Amino acid sequence: MRGWISILTIAAITLLGGCEEKKPPPPPKPVAEAWRYAHDIDPMSGKPRYSACLRSDNAVQLSPPYKPTKGVLCLLRDARAGSGVVLRLEGDGQIVCDGGGPCAIAVRFDERDIEPFKIRPLSDGSTNAVTFPDQVESDVLGIYLGGAHKARFELEFYRNGHQVLIFSPQGLDFSKTGWDGKS
């Protein structure tokens, strides 16, 4: 009888997952905290500059010598340069846009149709960042980001083909960006 009790005890512990108490997963980061805001003064003009940056939910898979890396999407507002959007990799990598651009990429917000947007490499020659050079398209991106739950950007990467960076932009606070959220 004693042997059966031991066997039943071991079986119960195994089925119940051991004696240790299972901890619940940590709570998800609040949506509003996902955006990182910055504000400073342009030393040339003395006028304000703003940025709001968001890290991607996923990473792109890049071949050596590069490593998988997440993307960062930034809304920029500068009194001299106007508004703009920059998409960059956190790490090294090469976003393909031959001839200095502009190149078209596919962008999708929530369940809307896929839309083409123009990108261009940054003027400093960086291969891991692009800008959306068209002012109207930059403003449209800002407006869409303000109301979207998911934003997908399909980019081509050197020797790794087309991959999609996914962002969760909800919680964007336009009052911290210098944008009015309308134009």
pLDDT tens-place string over residues 9-67: 343 334 344 444 555 555 555 555 799 999 999 999 899 999 999 999 999 999 999 99
Report yes or no on 9 lying in a domain. no
Report yes or no on 183 lying in a domain. no
Report yes or no on 104 lying in a domain. yes
Report yes or no on 8 lying in a domain. no
Report yes or no on 21 lying in a domain. no
Report yes or no on 26 lying in a domain. no
Report yes or no on 81 lying in a domain. yes
Q: Which residues fall within 8 angstroms of residue 149, CB to CB, at 6 or more apart?
A: 110, 168, 169, 170
Q: How many domains does the chain have?
A: 1
Q: What is the mean pLDDT of residues 120-125?
A: 88
Report yes or no on 14 lying in a domain. no
In whole angstroms, how far apart are CA 43 and each of 36, 80, 140?
22, 11, 29
Per the CB < 8 A criterion, the answer to whether 93 and 83 are in contact is: no
Provide the domain limits for residue 54.
Answer: 31-176
pLDDT-derived band of residue 125, with 50, 70 and 90 as boundaries?
Answer: confident
- Look at 71 and 141; give whichever has higher pLDDT: 71
Task: Round to whole Å and give the CA distance between 179 and 183.
Answer: 7
Task: Round to whole Å and give the CA distance between 27 and 170.
Answer: 17
CATH code of the domain in which 110 resides: 2.60.40
pLDDT-derived band of residue 79, with 50, 70 and 90 as boundaries?
Answer: confident
